[in-house]
Structures are given as structure tokens and as C-alpha cells.
Structure 1
């Protein structure tokens, strides 16, 4: 009985899985490429604010600043001790501790953050400290661009790094002079932002484009049943919310689906050999020959020793071997006009070249005028 029941359960699960796969396969590519408006645009005024502060990290195991070299760490430590009732400024005391480091503390204050909430902070050494692992950040006010304190940070650091040193060798993994404190700052001041009383609201696209902005306005007007959205420029869509529940409208607008349009662009990073090709990139039919020129220079100096009992001196005779390979095996290949990204990638791979050679090829194709896209080299 148990075996029969188990078989019926497996059959039901398989049937459900097949139905799910069948439904997923019927989704059109156009619908799959649609995204929510709140994932490609921001409401005007709803943004984060950068905070910065200067503080001290204590509890380091001899990896902090050298107070004889970093004077601002020494002065900060003396000032902090004076505020705590320990007066050493007027005394001839030579501070020799290596367990303190001066740091810069940065954080992002999100929109609608309320007093008492917590945010993450990043701590970075400013002196000659070698490792912040295991340190504790003392109370540090975090200020915004207006000079007001919006949060206060304190807590134990986590660096996700380690360093080991010996007499003749050392190893460092990741960056031990940069740390992170999760929920390490308490919000003390809120950034005022009132969306309820705004009759005219603006949507700002993260990637400006006239086509995308028009589609966003059309989707909003179709969903809300009235002409409340119009395009002001490729980045901005204005919303007239004077005769509608503003908060409900903003909620519904954020979840609307649109298909964003992007410019045809190729981005290459010459340093790492990275190539990113957009979906709308097209290349006209061109013929390409990529040759490799290799020059190898080898130095094998010969040492000439004088004979015994002679008055000669030891001399070194230079000997250089130069080998040149101009890549005669390179062939002329034809890169056909590709109607899709997959065909373009297949055509480039068929040439049998590496990423760095492919970057040179793309630059040459752009110079020839056959690359129908923007080429951005970083």
C-alpha cells in the first residue's frame, strides 16, 4: 500500500513539473525581456546620501600606526584621552603604542531611513597601519555634505583578510587595511522627503533613452487609465498626480512591466581583456587577417678567463640571439553580417583569436566603419 501511494505521489509531482515546464516554454521572448519600472528608474528625490567621518580603531595586535611617524593619529589619541579625563598633553610622555590606527569611515544613508535605524559602514586606514583585523572602531560621528551629523558608528571590524610575515617572506590575502561593520552605525537624523504633497512627480531613467522613456509613459497611461505621464527628455518622465491617490499610483507604477531599449555598444577593457557586446550590435561583412608578430631576444653572455700565471683579466663577451616569427600561418577570414548576437560571437570565435587580439580586431572594424555600434575602450 505504501509503495502504491508513493508511486501516485511521484506521478503527481512529475505531472506538475511537466506542466510547469510547458508553461515556461510558452512565455514569449518579448515578455521575458520586460522589467519593472522601479528596476530601471528612480523617483525624483528618492536617493541615498553619502556620509563620512574620521575616527580611531583600537585593539590591534601591533599592526596599527606608528605614532612617531603618523602625527595626526598621535594628536587624535591625545585629544580623545583628554576628553575622557586623561591629561597627558602637558606631560613629557612618549607614546609608543602600535595598537591604534586612524581611519576614515564611510556609509550610505538610504532614503526614508528613520532615527534609530542601523546602516553598514566601511572603515579604511589613513596612516601606516598594516592590518585592521580584530580592531574596534570607537564612537565616530558621520557627516553629510551639509556638515550635519546624520549617524554615529561604532563596533568591531571584519576585514575578510589575513597577513602572515616571517623573517624572509610574507603573504597578504585580500586587503587587511579595509574593514566592514554590518549595522555598525545608528541613524541620528532623518533626511526629510515628502512624496504625499507632491502633485508633479518625476521618474528618472538610469539609462537615458527616448524609446524607453516613451514606453514607460505609455505603460503608465494604459494602466492608470488617464493621461498623467509624458516624456520631458530621454531621462525624465513627468507624472501629474494632482487628481489621483499619489501613494497608490507610485506603488502601481513601480510594478508595471516595460521592455527597455538600449544603444548598440561594445565595451572592451584592454587591461583585463574583457569584451562585452550588446544584443543590438551589428557588423557589416568584412574580411579579416590577424597575424602574430613574435620577437624573442635571448642574452647568453660568455665569460672569458685568462690563462694561469698570466696578467690578463676576466672579461664578459655579450652574446645575443634574436628570433622573429612574423605569423605567416595567419589566414584571411570573412566575418559575415550577423543578424543576431549569437551569430556575431560565433563569427568572431571562428577566427580563432584570443580576447586581446579580438579587441584589436573590433577597433579595426570600427575604424573601417563596419561596426554599427559605439565602441568604448576602458
Structure 2
């Protein structure tokens, strides 16, 4: 060691590597910039580790850093990771655990809480767990989801979204400046072929496309189906809706107890999208009928077969009632809304104390926020 001198370092102009001995190199780039690199080898793998710019790191300090780097590698310590820890910038794994710790108390849905962390542990940690959150880029995220993109598209999409959430957290903490270019990453992945649905409930990921289909025409049947999706109501509740149940001023739909399966009055906060559907339905209002969605005979409600036929016309293997499951799955998988609030939206029995609070407290407003989010999602 000691082939170079301070004078030789200053005089070096020709691009290339200048060895000092024991793996320490002075690197001169074509632009004239100079930096130090320590070349190490462990278990047959060779690696170059940067030690800093010549402007900030003189020769003596570069030698000290090279010695420390070789010692760390020899005992199994990654010098780069160790340096990042000293700088205070967490690895992706550390960032995930911090995000999880900060948010887990707000994720009341146990399934969502468990899946959020387990999917990242299984698919992301082996690939990018030790990468600095500040250096994570789109191609790193792509390397995580690419192996499961076609085999497990729904899981891949969730992992991708959760990686993006962790990066957004890092931006807020000041660990990085830019988000991941997820749109460009998506375009670089194979196109997922749409598979036919063979179950009664349409996957929530396909609901916006079906909702767009409904909006491509305007009829009583399509309006009723749109209202069914946006309110997560049962088919019978929609088809039997009357104008005196709709409060346009306060954006509420109050279904009396006698029309509810559980025999209890049910109040549904109407999102802007749902309110718009009821306003459109008013154009078809029959003076002789109190029904919001009358059938061919104004005195009788719309037939359930009318809604079923719409599913067939759209070539989806689902039934109207299945959209309640689509809504519930969306709440569990895509949001942090409390599961009890979702059950209230579906008019499921959840206990007297909670029910009383829902009727008198602010849970109705929480449901309004949830239904507004669902309306935005469907109308995307």
C-alpha cells in the first residue's frame, strides 16, 4: 500500500483507475472528477464500494476508510448499509416497519392489517428489503412485482400500491424527494388478459368498468343498477325505493323498517355520484307512481330480471346482489375504514350499543366519508 502520493493524486488527469494498493483506487472520469473506490471480494464475489470525492476525502482519509471497509466485509458487515444507518436514512425494510407501526392502530380491519405487512415481507423484503429507501426506484419495485404480475395480479397490484405508500411516507419524512414512477413501471409490465368471471360477485377491481358501462346509456334499469352499486343496497330495497324516502337537501336515503330485511330503519348517506343518479331518475318520474324506479307498469316496481339482464348484456358472470360483496371486499382490501362501519353500510346487525351510537352519533358521517370514497372509486 502507498503507491500514490498527494501530489500524484492532484496531478492525475487522464481518465482511468490509479491503484494505491490493497484494493484502494483513485478513479478519474472523462469529465475530470475524481473519487475513491475500494475493491473488495467475499465468497468469490467482487464489489466496488465508493469512499467519497477527492475534494472531500484526502488520500490519508481514503486509506483509513479502505481499511475499515475491508475489515467490515471480512466480518460480514455490509459497509454501504452501515453507512446508511449512520446517515439516518432507513432501509426499505426499516421504513415498512415504521409505516406499519404508525398506522396499525388505525387499521381496524384485522385481515387488512395482517395482509399489509405479510405481503411486503413475502414479496418485497427478499428483493429490496436492504435497499435504502432514498435510493429505491421504479425498476426496483418492478423487480418485486414482475414474478407474480401474471400469476397473482391482484396480489401484485396490492404489493405495488403498498410499496408506493411507503415511498410516499419517506417523502413526507424527508428521506427522499421524488415518488416512484409507477405509471411507467406499469407500462413496462406484460398486459394482464381479462379472465372471465365465474362467480356471483364481480371483483371490485372490475366494478369501475361495469359502472362506466351503465353510464354509457340512460334508462330506468341502468339508473337503478347504478344506485344499487353506489349505495351497496339490496335489489329489493332499490326497486322498492319511493320518492318520499329521498332527502335531496341532506343527501340521505331513509329506508323504513318494514322494507328492510332486519326490520330496522336504515339510513344511507348519498355520495355526490349517488345523488346524481337519483336526480337523473327524477326525469322519468311518474306522477301516478311514488316509485323512484318504476317498471313498465308505473304502479309496480322494476323487475329484478331487468337488473339481471343488464349483467348478461355486459357479459359479466355476476348477479346484482353480488355487488354488496364487491363493496365489502373493496373496504377490506383497499381502505382503512373500520369493518363495523362497512357492516353498517350493508345494514348488517352489529350489536345494540354500536347500533345506538350509529343512530345518534357521528358514525353516520364516517359512513358518508366511506360512501363518498366508494362513489369516487366506482366513477373512476
Could you tell me the TM-score, scaled by structure 1's length?
Answer: 0.22
| Higher share of residues assigned strand | 1
| Higher share of residues assigned helix | 2
| Larger CA Rg, structure 1 vs 2 | 1
Could you tell me the TM-score, scaled by structure 2's length?
Answer: 0.21
